A and B are shown apart, each in its own frame.
Chain A
Amino acid sequence: MKYLVMECHRGYAVVLDEEGRFLKAANLNYTVGQELTEIITAPPVKKSPR
């Protein structure tokens, strides 16, 4: 699976996989437009009940 880096933040990057999913992944010093073959997906953040 190939991933396209769409957006880079300090803690994470948003990547687009070939099946059309937008995923949050750990940003290992990526550049927007870079193509990756492996990513470390960020676990979903659970919202705490108020």
Chain B
Amino acid sequence: MSYEKSRGAFLPYAAKCIRHRLIDYSRKERRHTETVSLYAPTDNDDKNTLIQRLDSGEDEISRHMEITATGEEIFCFRRELASFGLSLTDIAETCPKQERTLKACMRVLAYAKATPIVFEVLLKTKKLPMKEIAAGSGVDRKTLERHRKYLIAVLLAYTNGFEIIRGHLKQIEPREGGRNR
């Protein structure tokens, strides 16, 4: 837009320009009159917005119940561990750091799964049958001694009553088979 002095006064020209701009803007915005913002307050309550009323797609109640059930199972697991004189912090501190050691521990688990008497002895005597496990799984006794607390926790998770924890450990599969007798 350019103003030419020869064609008249500036003020009427500016007024016309402003008016046309406002008309253009109002026409442009008219297409959005049907659109409602999700963050706009609802009719009844100024504090609530539309997005808060929309279904998030998640079932909050069943999620809460799931967490509660898992929490209860973990509480039982911790109580069971306490009967061995162990806490989860102890176990986290003695957990295998190296992949090779973790594999060795998984071989022990595979052996115990194949030999249920290991679980029975563990629950009855509150001790790991080291000699038997070392011979059956082929894992060095020193490694077993070093990770005794961790092994107790993992084996305990595979005894009855800890389905949720076991379900979480679905990735645990022995990569190398144990040397079963």
- Please give the residue numbers on chain A whose beta carbons come within 8 Å of chain B beta carbons, in ascending order: 2, 4, 6-7, 9, 14, 16, 18-24, 31-35
Closest to B172 in A: A20
Query: Among the listed stretches B1-9, B69-77, B133-141, which one makes contact with chain A, having 4 or more residues with CB under 8 Å of it?
Result: B69-77
In the bound complex, CA of A33 to CA of B64 (Å): 10
- Is the pair B68, A22 in contact by a Cβ cutoff of 8 Å? no
- Is the pair A32, B95 in contact by a Cβ cutoff of 8 Å? no
Q: Interface extent on B, as a size class? A: 20 to 34
In the bound complex, CA of A21 to CA of B74 (Å): 15
In the bound complex, CA of A7 to CA of B96 (Å): 19
Whether A19 touches B171, Cβ cut-off 8 Å, given contacts A7-B78, A14-B89, A14-B92, is yes
In the bound complex, CA of A34 to CA of B66 (Å): 9
Give the 4 A-B residue pairs with the shortest CB-CB distance, closest first. A33-B70, A33-B71, A18-B171, A22-B92
Please indicate the chain A residues that have their CB under 8 angstroms from the CB of B91 in the complex: 14, 22
Please indicate the chain A residues that have their CB under 8 angstroms from the CB of B75 in the complex: 32
